[in-house]
């Protein structure tokens, strides 16, 4: 027996369903306004909530490098702060590369996977993760658990 993970691959953005393509456009728009003076890697994320609201975010860097924050968590935490009782359905992630065009999908970092997973656990619903570069293939994972197998969740903390 094997534990397996599944990612859906689209050859480019035009192959995406409308809802996913629209969310990715919002993420791209957010990436344009990222504050990334150190890495020059501008990331955008857009979160779709069950109530139809879309909340976007982008990476926020700092002269004290480690305190900067990824686009995904900026968007997720803002969504969770504004709509604490509303489940999150999807998150789209993209980036604008430094100098050369980004031709591969941008996956969330490990910390962001863990953060997405927290809201999956909170609401008991999977959060679809849409990953894209500026062009080329787009990946969709049906949940954070799919991108973070064998994850640590609240079940280990239950008394």
Q: Which helix (H) or strand (E) holds 79?
A: helix 71-82
Residue 36 binds ligand THU, judged by CB under 6 A = yes
Euclidean distance between CA atoms 71 and 55, whole angstroms:
11
Q: Is 61 in the site for ligand THU (CB under 6 A)?
A: yes
DSSP 44: E
72 is catalytic: yes
Options 6, 20, 61, 72, the catalytic residue: 72
Whether 7 contacts 146, CB under 8 Å: yes
The reply to whether 97 sits near ligand THU by the rule CB under 6 A is: no
Answer yes or no whether residue 71 interacts with ligand THU by CB under 6 A.
Answer: yes
Torsion of CA 126, 127, 128, 130, to 10 degrees: -160
- Nearest approach, Cβ of residue 105 and ligand THU (Å): 11
Binding interface with ligand THU (CB under 6 A): 36, 39, 41, 43, 59, 61, 68, 70-72, 108-109, 112
Residues annotated as part of the active site? 72
């Amino acid at each position: 027996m094997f534990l397996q993970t599944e990612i859906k691959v689209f050859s480019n953005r035009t192959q995406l369903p409308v809802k996913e393509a629209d969310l990715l456009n919002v993420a791209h728009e957010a990436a344009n306004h990222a504050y990334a003076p150190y890495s020059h890697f501008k990331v955008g994320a857009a979160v779709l909530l069950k109530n139809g609201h879309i909340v976007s975010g982008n990476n926020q860097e700092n002269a004290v490098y480690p305190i900067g924050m990824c686009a995904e968590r900026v968007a997720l935490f803002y969504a969770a702060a504004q709509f604490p009782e509303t489940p999150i359905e999807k998150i789209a992630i993209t980036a604008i590369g430094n100098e050369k065009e980004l031709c591969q999908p941008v996956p969330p970092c490990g910390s962001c996977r863990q953060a997405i997973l927290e809201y999956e656990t909170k609401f008991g619903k999977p959060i679809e993760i849409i990953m894209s570069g500026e062009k080329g293939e787009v990946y969709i994972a049906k949940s954070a658990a799919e991108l973070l197998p064998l994850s640590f969740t609240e079940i280990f903390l239950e008394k």
